[in-house]
Amino acid sequence: MMVSAVSLKILLRTLGCPGVKALPSKVDVLLVRHDLDCGYSYNGYAYSHILDSISDVLGKLGKTRCTVATPYSSLVGEKAYGSPFCINRAYALATIAAKLKFCGDRTRQNIYAKKNVWRTVIKAVSPKVIIGIAPGPELCWAANEMAVPVYDIQHGVINDGHAVYKYVLRDGPDEYVPTGFLCWDSTAADTLEWARARGKEVHVVGNPWFQRFIHRKGNDTLVEDALSGDMLDVIEKKTILVTMQWGLREFFKDSNYYEFLPEPLIQAINKSKNKYNWLLRLHPVQVRSGIKGKVVSFLERSFGREGNVFWEWPTSQPLPQVLAKCDLHITDCGSTTIEASWYGIPTALLNNRYVSGEVLADYFVPERACGLAVCVPQETSRILEWVSTHERVEAGTWVCGNLHDILFDIVSD
């Protein structure tokens, strides 16, 4: 089997990366995340708002932990919170070895090679438990072989419309499935009923990032630093958050779909940017994947620097802090629809694929059922009509969960 130029390029890029031997010898919990999971920066360090929040809770519980950045991450060591370890080189070597030794099922062979990298990591670290954001089949396979529980902490949408959690994991090899799932709410847990039926654990723990802000206790340094920082100076008018997304053309298999924002929404913002405050928040992938400059250039061309259209502050601040300033939310199919509903903030879903039989039919069903999310056509007049006729409501849908107790239980077993 020929080794591709891409594989060789990756290998050369990883030659300076440390080996697995640099890992600590024994910890209670191994945490696993990727660069793209780092949606916040704290004291100059890339911060994975979900997984590093878990790490902070574990620290308060007196548990030792280390973080491994999944390939091919660059936010490792001193660049990120918790000094994540890098396994890029080992992954690159395993990938090339799998290509050279290929016989039979190519996908399975590749996963098998990477599985052995994770076996080496797990053997070195000797964790009681592994917690990761969407742990891959190779990690789950290694952990299951070595009888180390591995948990998937929810980081975005999990519902009946999400193929990975509804079908792919359910119908794939059992060794590719985590020991358990840590969910934000009952919608996600219900989607994973198939896992519970197969003896997997499914826990509703709430969202660890939002818990820190909603149940503010005054002794969380990160939260206090964020809330005492520079606040956005806006006019005393209605404030609308627009959460941007990535990869929609691929997701909908439509090369003509918009890349960053639909034109009717751009027109709606420009027509009303002196009447309302518009907060545009880039997706973490747009921030971390090297396309941030392209996105910002697009926003500058679309809106200029005049009027009440902002994107630096809404993108850099914690989402709970941003939502606390907002009255309305607009997106295509972003998971912030769920998070906005926790604050009683209505969402306009700018997509017509939420009808029965379409790809988004099972997305945000509870939020749509209670009126906190509605489908709005991608038409400038309809968007502005929705903005003018909707307000934030007092009763949100926040689910606290039982994060601390569940973490204590699964790590202490």
| Calpha distance 399→413 (Å, rounded) | 26
Write out the two tokens for 395.
């009763």
- Strand bridging mode 40-42 / 45-47: antiparallel
The beta strands (E) that lie in 27-178 are given as 29-33, 40-42, 45-47, 65-69, 85-86, 129-132, 150-153
**164 burial level (CB within 10 Å; 0-12, 13-18, 19+):** exposed
pTM > 0.85: yes or no = yes
Considering the segment(s) 230-389 as one domain, its CATH architecture is 3-Layer(aba) Sandwich (3.40)
Residue 307: per-residue pLDDT: 78
Q: What residues does 375 pair with on adjacent strands?
A: 349
Residue type, 79: K
pLDDT for position 103: 64
Residue 298's SS3 state is helix
Q: What is the pLDDT of residue 2?
A: 46
Three-class SS state of 220: coil
Q: What is the pLDDT of residue 128?
A: 96
Per-residue pLDDT tens over the stretch 189-233: 999 999 999 999 999 999 999 999 999 988 999 999 999 877 777
Note the pLDDT of residue 344.
Answer: 95
Across the chain, mean pLDDT equals 90
Residues recorded for the chain: 413
Q: Which residues of 344-377 are buried (b: 16+ CB within 10 A; e: fewer)?
A: bbbbbbbbebbeeeeebebbbeebbeeebbebbe
pLDDT score for 201: 96
CATH node for 5-223+402-412: 3.40.50.2000
Domain positions in the chain: 5-223+402-412, 230-389
Name the stretches of the chain with pLDDT < 70: 1-21, 101-104, 234-235, 413
pLDDT of residue 3: 44
Can you give the pLDDT at residue 278?
96
Residue partners of 84: CB distance under 8 A and separation at least 6: 33, 67, 68, 69, 73, 75, 76, 77
Q: What is the b/e burial string over 271-303, where b = at least 16 CB atoms within 10 angstroms of the residue's CB?
A: ebbeebbbbbbbbbbbbbeebeeebeebbeebb
Tokens for 328? 């309305």
What is the spatial distance between Cα 94 and Cα 98, in angstroms, rounded to a whole number? 6
φ/ψ (deg, to 5) at 373 = -145, 130
Check residue 6 and give its pLDDT: 46
Please determine whether the domains at 5-223+402-412 and 230-389 fall in the same fold group of CATH.
yes
